[in-house]
Amino acid sequence: MKIGAGGLQAMAAHDAARGLDQNSVKTAAEKAVLISEDPAVRRLVNELNKAVERMRRSAETFNQPMDFEVKKGEKPRIKARDRRTGATREFTLEEAMEWLEETGRKRSRLNRYV
């Protein structure tokens, strides 16, 4: 019996791909790091990652050439780098939220005139 396009072959490939979850495949070193980390630190890093995504979108809205990344360590922070000047700045979660509120106010002022 021939397996045609879109038939059993596609279904088998889809089932095989669904079985491989990239997030579940971890090396022994990654597992050890996850186990050793404090849950509060993991939660903070997760919140920082969400803030980084919001900061990236905000920077794109205003055409600011900025890169953002989470800097892990004892006190995780957000590292921001201006691609034009090369200047860097570090934000705590609270400072990042203030920065986002400030850019949100700028956005609302722009929307009034558009």
Check residue 37 and report its DSSP letter: S
* Predicted confidence (pLDDT) per residue in 52-86, tens digit: 999 999 899 888 899 999 998 788 899 999 999 99
Residue 63's pLDDT is 86
Copy the structure tokens of residue 30. Answer: 């990654």
CA distance 20 to 71: 29
Average pLDDT for 20-44: 67
What's the chain's average pLDDT?
Answer: 79
Minimum mean pLDDT range among 5-19, 29-43, 52-66: 5-19
- Token look-up 């038939």 returns 7
Model confidence at 1: pLDDT above 90: no
Question: Who contacts 47 (Cβ-Cβ below 8 Å, separation ≥6)?
Answer: 93
Run of H or E residues at 91: strand 88-91
Whole-model pTM: value is: 0.61
How open is the CA angle 109-56-80, to the nearest 5 degrees? 105
Residue 72's pLDDT is 84
